[in-house]
């Protein structure tokens, strides 16, 4: 079956691939600092590493524009919250992000411990494995999204995960190696034309792919996310429709003690025969399910990303989305 993406999908793919820039002294210093932090994290027990990473991220990010952006976006999405509550959720979000990064070197050990991961609706995984067609796992920056490749590998599925390369080539190389070690059997592919072509081939062969779908995409579909206008990448819906692949939403919830609950939910792909309409409806279905998960655990979502880029959220009238 021939696979297809919309006319502007090539622009979406190009914009998603952050090309590595010439290496500067700042890049080298950043890499040295990151390497030192990772070395310390590896030496610590996973609980201590997670706590340290969360504490550092909270203290640092809340003093930067990312922390202020998180507070601003929380207030725009949930206008009934007090400034104190917005700040509290923003701090918890930064903490969760730091924990996810600090847990990266420990992911193989986390997967090896059956007490750390609880799977919900895992019969959906078994059904996906028995299908002849491919499967697309979609997730958001919720809980610890770095678990996604390992979950598919744990289910004994050939997994191809999209990622966005960093602008710092040194950090990108080292982060990729850490992710590859954590992803076990998974293959990580850049969100660029070559990576998409590889994933298309994999899906046509009945294998699986995964991508995070909650970031702003400049050339994506216009629509609502958490009640505010923005643009969303439609690649998951496009590949599903034209490659006859099933979409499964993966929701990762952080539990106390570096434990996680991972829930799977099937997303119905619209197949009316109207290509643009089907892509829009399927992307909207993904957004609505992800919104509900975010509103249920707002402190675990990554609010510091510029999800509503270009909008002045401080003056925008807001209608809170329904859970």
Q: What is the pLDDT of residue 29?
A: 84
Count of C-beta atoms within a 10 Å radius of residue 277: 11
Tell me if 304 sits within 8 A of 161, measured CB to CB. Answer: no
pTM of the model: 0.84
Q: What is the pLDDT of residues 128-181, one digit of tens each?
A: 777 778 899 999 999 999 888 877 766 667 788 887 777 777 777 777 777 777
Q: What are the residues whose beta carbons fall under 8 Å from the beta carbon of 296, sequence distance 6 or more? A: 323
Contacts of 297 (CB under 8 A, 6+ apart): 142, 143, 253, 254
Q: What is the pLDDT of residues 70-108, one digit of tens each?
A: 999 999 999 999 999 999 999 999 999 999 999 988 988
217-239 pLDDT, tens digit each: 988 999 999 999 999 999 999 99
* 236 vs 29, higher pLDDT: 236
The pLDDT score that the predictor gives to residue 12 is: 36
Say if residues 302 and 290 touch (Cβ distance below 8 Å): no
Judged by average pLDDT, the poorest of 77-81, 249-253, 312-316, 318-322 is 318-322
Position 216 scores a pLDDT of 93
Tokens of 272: 């009316």
More confident residue, 98 or 22: 98
Range 183-208 burial, b when 16+ CB lie within 10 A, else e: bbebbbbbbbeebbeebbebbbeebb
Sign for the pseudo-dihedral over CA of 206, 238, 183, 14: positive
Pick the more confident residue, 83 or 15. Answer: 83
Q: Whole-angstrom Cα distance, residue 144 to residue 178?
A: 15
- Burial code (b: 16+ CB inside 10 Å, e: under 16) for 21-32 equals eeeeeebeeebe
d(CA 193, CA 210): 16
pLDDT of residue 4: 31
Helix (H) / strand (E) element for 194: namely helix 193-204
Rounded CA gap, 155 and 57, in Å? 32
Residue 303 to residues 34, 160, 228: CA-CA distances in angstroms? 23, 26, 14
Burial of 55 (0-12, 13-18, 19+ CB in 10 A): middle
Instruction: Quote the CA–CA distance of 116 and 254 in Å, as a whole number.
Output: 10
Q: What does the pLDDT average to over 260-287?
A: 95
């Amino acid at each position: 079956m021939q696979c297809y993406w919309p006319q502007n999908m090539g622009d979406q793919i190009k914009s998603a691939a952050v090309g590595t820039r010439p290496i500067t002294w700042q890049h080298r210093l950043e890499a040295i600092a990151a390497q030192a932090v990772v070395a310390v994290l590896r030496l610590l027990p996973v609980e201590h590493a997670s706590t340290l990473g969360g504490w550092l991220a909270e203290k640092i990010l809340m003093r930067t524009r990312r922390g202020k952006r998180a507070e601003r976006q929380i207030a725009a999405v949930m206008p009934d919250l007090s400034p104190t509550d917005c700040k509290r959720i923003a701090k918890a979000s930064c903490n969760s992000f730091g924990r996810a990064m600090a847990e990266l070197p420990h992911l193989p050990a986390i997967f090896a411990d059956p007490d750390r991961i609880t799977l919900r609706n895992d019969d959906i995984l078994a059904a996906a494995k028995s299908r002849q067609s491919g499967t697309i796992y979609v997730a958001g920056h919720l809980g610890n999204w770095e678990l996604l490749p390992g979950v598919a590998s744990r289910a004994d599925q050939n997994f191809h995960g999209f990622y966005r390369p960093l602008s710092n080539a040194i950090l990108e190389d080292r982060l990729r190696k850490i992710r590859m070690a954590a992803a076990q059997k998974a293959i990580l592919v850049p969100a660029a034309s070559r990576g998409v072509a590889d994933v298309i081939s994999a899906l046509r062969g009945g294998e699986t792919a995964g991508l995070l779908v909650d970031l702003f995409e400049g050339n994506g579909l216009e629509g609502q996310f958490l009640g505010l206008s923005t643009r969303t990448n439609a690649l998951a819906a496009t590949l599903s429709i034209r490659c006859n692949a099933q979409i499964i939403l993966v929701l990762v919830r952080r539990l106390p003690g570096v434990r996680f609950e991972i829930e799977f939910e099937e997303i119905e792909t619209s197949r009316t025969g109207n290509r643009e309409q089907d892509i829009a409806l399927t992307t909207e279905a993904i957004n609505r399910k992800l919104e509900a998960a975010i509103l249920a655990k707002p402190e675990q979502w990554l609010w510091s990303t510029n999800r509503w880029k270009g909008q002045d959220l401080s003056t925008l009238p807001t209608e809170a989305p329904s859970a």
